[in-house]
Amino acid sequence: MRGFKDWKGEIEGVPWWKFKIALHIHYFDTGYGRLSIVKYFWLILAGGSILEGVNYMYAIYGGFLYCIVCYVVGWWWYNHMQSAVMEVSNQVDPFAKGMRKVYKPVVPK
């Protein structure tokens, strides 16, 4: 999807700005899914700190930092790991197995 970064057209009737918003939401959601276990660790630390009387603003700042890290991890995952993830899912997909038997993959030289 790297070719769509500077593209200003429509994709099947969807304006480019809606596509960009959906892409950024996808980055965040992907990172949030990959870092889901971290939020429980952060909840324990932040909750314990608030109960001990430490400034609650640290918990809020940490939440914002967690959101930014989720976005960055999602962007990295989408741009560097998505093809590997799709290949792993294709290894167990019966349709992909059948299509690979019918159409031999082209290996670039």
Cβ burial, residue 27 (10 Å; 0-12/13-18/19+):
buried
pLDDT for residue 26 = 93
User: What's the DSSP call for residue 15?
Assistant: E
- For the segment 56-94, what is each residue's pLDDT rounded down to a tens digit? 788 888 889 999 999 999 999 999 998 888 888 888 888
CA distances to 25, 55, 83, 105 from 100, rounded to whole Å, are 33, 58, 17, 7
Bridge-partner residues for 15, per DSSP? 10
Q: Is the pTM of this model over 0.85?
A: no
- For the segment 16-27, what is each residue's pLDDT rounded down to a tens digit? 888 889 999 999
Residue 45 Cα to chain centre, angstroms: 25
At residue 2 the predicted structure's pLDDT band, cuts being 50, 70 and 90, is very low
Element of type H or E holding 25: helix 16-34
